Amino acid sequence: MLIVMKFGGSSVGSAERIAQAAQLAVDTAAKGHQVVVVTSAMSKVTDALIDAARLASTGQWSPALRQELFDRHEAAADALIRNDPARHAAVLDALGQRLERFEKLCFGLSLVHELTPRLLDAISGTGEMLAAPLVAAAIAARGRPSKAVDATELIVTTDQYGGAEPLMDATRVKMAARLQPSIARGEIPVVTGFIAATADGVMTTLGRGGSDYSASIVGAALDAAEIWIWTDVDGVMTANPSEVPEARTLSEISYSEASELAYYGARVLHYKTILPAFRQRIPVRILNSFNPGHPGTRVSVEGNRAARSVKAVTSIRGVILVAISGTGMQAIPGIAAKTFDVVAAQQANVLMISQASSENNICFVLSAVEAPRVVTALRAALEFELMRGHIDEIAAEQQVAIVAAVGDRMRGTPGIAATVFGALGEAGINVIAISQGSSERNISLVVTERDAAGAVRAIHRAFQLDKAS
């Protein structure tokens, strides 16, 4: 079967890590599978590139980073393919060309002093273009023919620089033409994650952390049997282990559970990432390259049908509850519409909304970074309602957290809410606001930030999530 294997920054962060990644790819191919690798930049490289671009746009271009990046990648090449001079020279040549391009872009930027999103994409994707030749060389050195392929030749996207969206039909055509023949020959192509190009060939990126998205796009375009995301954790857990020491890795979850968990801050695939795989029902495995013997978490359409109702408990910190209240709000239409118009105009992301049917209060949760400017804008936009007494108050409560219990099989199962709130009651935790969407896959509640860890632990314990399902 065809397997797309994606290695994150920490999984290719050093010569040893790259050797390990290459070995995992070669071992999988040796079992008779066809393998396509998608690689991130070596850890921290993307951050350094973005910092350099920002600095260059203020006129301060220092050529030191080019050398630093060359040295780090060269050292890896030395360790990986020292005894193959031809391959070593070819890799160094590729590194040199790519860094030359990077330097020219930064130099230009330092003259024009304007960093457009388009230019930032051209620069920030350099890290993947440096990592791919190294990974391909390490695979080839282990006896499997392998070539680095820039995703600018494979993935066609919109021109939303900094967060481009794939155009799957065009991508499919390119992917088939460019990759299928070499896959059929038993080669292992190594595709740069994160980057892509518009139909006109202008380089784009898929957003920070976008290599997972790349893997999902490559897998979908090639009709892969599975997509394996190699990272530095054993998989998706029932809770954050720093909050709940007895948290466990989940062996199987559904796409919808994965997206709920991603939304609520668990370290798992971003929901957007999963979509291309999900549309074609391609299972995604989350695996640990530091612990490759662990089976990890499989994300599939069905999930684990035998599992319990609640699968995992997560919390989001650093959020603020904004409450708009007033007895005069009852039966006055349009307050919710006006409120969320303002939130949208401020480009703030609403994490949770709740309004009781008495209509005396609408509350919603925003990140602490976005909340102050939204509240200021709301006070201005709702001035009339405040003056007329329809609204008494727009309050922003500090230091709250959202705690969410997530699971597909919560749907239609009575008694879940009773267990959640019973557990919180017993733990003496006060619940400030509650929300359950009609998908019933998630019950979210707001507690003070101080109570968050206790609330997560209490719910985890009440559903016995420490026990294998």
Collapse the DSSP code of 402 into the 3-class scheme (helix H, G, I; strand E, B; otherwise coil) and give the result: strand
CB of 195 to ligand ASP, least distance (A): 9
Beta bridge partners, 300, equal: 254
- As a whole number of angstroms, the distance between CA 139 and CA 132 comes to 11
Q: Which is nearer to Mg ion, 211 or 361 (CB)?
A: 211
How many whole angstroms from its chain centre is CA 443? 22
Among 126, 211, 256, 288, binds ligand ASP (CB under 6 A): 211
* CB within 8 Å of 49: residues ≥ 6 apart: 41, 65, 102, 123, 124, 126, 127
Instruction: Please give the residue whose beta carbon sits closest to ligand ASP in the complex.
Output: 211
- The entry of Mg ion, ligand ASP, none that residue 193 binds, CB within 5 to 8 Å by partner kind: ligand ASP
- The span of 56-64, 92-100, 203-211, 312-320 binding ligand ASP (CB under 6 A) equals 203-211
- As a whole number of angstroms, the distance between CA 329 and CA 198 comes to 48
CB of 257 to ligand ASP, least distance (A): 22
39 touching ligand ASP, by CB under 6 A: no
9 touching Mg ion, by CB under 5 A: yes
Among 4, 36, 41, 391, binds ligand ASP (CB under 6 A): 41
- As a whole number of angstroms, the distance between CA 17 and CA 30 comes to 20
CB of 8 to ligand ASP, least distance (A): 6
Q: Which is nearer to Mg ion, 9 or 296 (CB)?
A: 9
127 touching ligand ASP, by CB under 6 A: yes
- The span of 2-10, 91-99, 117-125, 267-275 binding Mg ion (CB under 5 A) equals 2-10
Give CA separation, 426 vs 402, 429, 430, 431, 461, in Å: 19, 8, 10, 12, 12
Among 10, 11, 34, 40, binds ligand ASP (CB under 6 A): 40
| Residue whose C-alpha is closest to residue 224's, from 270, 175, 282, 279 | 282
Among 11, 20, 34, 40, binds Mg ion (CB under 5 A): 40
CB of 296 to ligand ASP, least distance (A): 18
* CB within 8 Å of 110: residues ≥ 6 apart: 56, 57, 59, 60, 61
- The span of 11-19, 38-46, 331-339, 366-374 binding ligand ASP (CB under 6 A) equals 38-46
CB of 5 to Mg ion, least distance (A): 16
Provide the binding-site residues for ligand ASP, judged by CB under 6 A. Answer: 8-9, 40-41, 46, 127, 193-194, 208-211
